[in-house]
Amino acid sequence: MQNSKTKDRASQSYRNLKKNISKVDDVRLFLLLLFIMVFVLTLVAAYFKHIGKNFQINPVQTLTPAMAAMITIKLKDKTCIPNCFNYYIGCSGITIILISLGIISSVSPWLCMGISGSIFLISMLLEDKKNAEIWGLRGGNIKKTIKWLLAYIILISFAITSTFFVFYFLYSYTEQFKTVFYNGDYINSRVIFADTIVEIFTLYKTRLIYIPIHVFNPISIYMIFGEEYGWRFFLQPRLQKKFGEIGGVVLLGIIWAVWHFNNEYFMELPESVKAFGYTSREYLSIIYSTRIVAEIFFSIWFAYFYKKSGSIWCMVLIHAIHNLMSIWSIFIIAFRYKGLVVQTIILLIISLLILKMSAFSGNKSDGVVKI
């Protein structure tokens, strides 16, 4: 009798909880869930730092936006929920727990991430087509995806090459220009115009070779899907509804940047950064400012390409290419806030051109926006 009453009370409490959750705004629930996950990972990283061990937040934290989005959808919607959501939440949750407990190294969690990613991708391919389309897991086509992938490679190559030459003309006489920070190593750039051109093409030839390896593998797709599904598919259209076409994307960029802050905080300060005279506090100040500025503009770029491609999977591949080819911190690290101002102006000009070309119009998810 007592057990029956206890079960009834528990059942009633659960129903009341679901009823209360159903009244919570989608965006607030998503951000609350995301904050809890990021906060827990931050505490774990702080503990590992306290005991003198390295804990890399970024690999596992990339999974959290999609987890928060899928849990929100499952709590708020009752129809046509894809089964693959359960696989993603389950595999990601187990991966995060194993890494947080130190059972798997956060520095090299790739086998676990590869298994989890493969399970999710297989479950997604086996998903009911209608359910998958409703929740943004299908869409677009191969020709359109290739077209916009190539377009993004051209865009980012143009943007970074332009940045290189602007800094060349402004600061080629300085010591900072002669030795710039790139990917944890030094590049000794002879300040001769011809050598500068060779330098640029050498960088991009190397990076383009790595694109197939870096982009088209289950681990990379699994991790970046975690960001893109949460940011672009789920949060962007909802923020745009609340704050307007451009306002929603700008706010998304700020959230995206702040979400990275704990990863920056717990990273070891590279020796090549120390060589420019940075203390940890100075480095965090400039890198946080850079994050906010860059992610706002990149949110505009990504929103444009998401609208044009109509596919979250195209955005996953674009994001992977973006991560591989981006070298924005080179001159900002070297020239500090002067570098940030110059970089901001360049990104602003490109973003204004995108806005002029585009008018973000209707996305498939929840009536999206035009910019």
Q: For the residues of 129-166, what is the DSSP string, one character each?
A: HHHHHHTTSS---HHHHHHHHHHHHHHHHHHHHHHHHH
Q: Is the pLDDT of residue 75 over 70?
A: yes
pLDDT of 370 > 90? The answer is no
Residue 210, pLDDT score: 66
- In b/e form, how buried is each residue of 174-199, taking b as 16+ CB within 10 angstroms? eebbebbbbeeeebebeeeeeebeeb
What is the torsion angle, in degrees rounded to the nearest 10, for the CA atoms of residue 80, residue 86, residue 303 and residue 324? -150
Are the CB atoms for 167 and 346 separated by under 8 Å? Answer: no
Average pLDDT of the chain is 81
Q: How far apart are CA 298 and CA 304, in angstroms?
A: 10
Cα 229 to the chain's mean position, in Å?
10
Interval 177-219: pLDDT, tens: 666 544 334 443 333 333 444 555 555 556 666 667 777 788 8
Residue with tokens 């679901």: 18
Helices (H), 235-279: 236-243, 245-259, 261-266, 271-274
Backbone CA torsion sign across 49, 51, 53, 57: negative
pLDDT value for 224: 94
The pLDDT value given to residue 109? 81
Q: What is the pLDDT of residue 327?
A: 66
Q: What is the pLDDT of residues 297-314, one digit of tens each?
A: 999 999 999 999 889 999
User: What single letter denotes the amino acid at residue 268?
Assistant: E
- DSSP structure class, residue 325: H
* Residue 78: band (very low, low, confident or very high) from pLDDT cuts 50, 70, 90: low
Q: Write the pLDDT tens digit of every residue in 242-297.
A: 999 999 999 999 999 999 999 888 877 766 566 677 778 888 888 899 899 999 99
